[in-house]
Amino acid sequence: MKHKIYVIAGVDKNFGIGKNNDLPWHFSKDMEFFKKTTIKTQDPKKKNMLVMGSTTWESIPKKYRPFKDRENAVLAWDPDYKAEGAKVFGSIDEALDSAGDDIEKIFFIGGGMVYRESVKHPKLTGIYLTHIDREYDCDTFFPEIPEKFNKKEKIGEEHEKGIKLEFLLYTI
């Protein structure tokens, strides 16, 4: 596989990720980590690709989409679905297969259904998780991390609003 493929998410103590198609929290340090991780490439001539479901796409305020300096891919069941500034695909594999030589890494960025499918994908390289040391009222949860991702590397730790944020990378 020519591309490294990752999942990236923020989770609370109960692995909650969202409520009513929105994040139940806002931490600028988590947003900075997300941006830095998903933009950075080894090769300055390449960029990374973000893959998300249509509900996640629509939950992003219009002024922030598409995500700048990254290729945006949206998964939608409806073949006529339009996402201005993004490419639309009917499946995870279609999105992955579309990544050309100008793409370095691919990140699945949500929502719940995309996470459930992508963590099981045989080509997945790793899972970036921001563990937020607090419980929130969530209606959407991150799936169980597959056993094969048994190496856990702590990338960093921040505190914001009196809450600890721990940045981890799970790999095989």
- Asked if residues 84 and 74 have their Cβ atoms less than 8 Å apart, the reply is no
CB-count burial class (<10 Å; 0-12, 13-18, 19+) for 76? middle
* Mean per-residue pLDDT over the chain, rounded: 97
* Architecture of domain 4-171 in this structure: 3-Layer(aba) Sandwich (3.40)
Distance CA 157, CA 159 (A): 7
- pLDDT digits over 7-36, tens only? 999 999 999 999 999 999 999 999 999 999
Q: What is the pLDDT of residue 1?
A: 54
- pLDDT digits over 50-101, tens only? 999 999 999 999 999 999 999 999 999 999 999 999 999 999 999 999 999 9
pTM metric for this prediction? 0.97
Domain boundaries, the chain: 4-171
Confidence of residue 117 (pLDDT cuts 50, 70, 90): very high
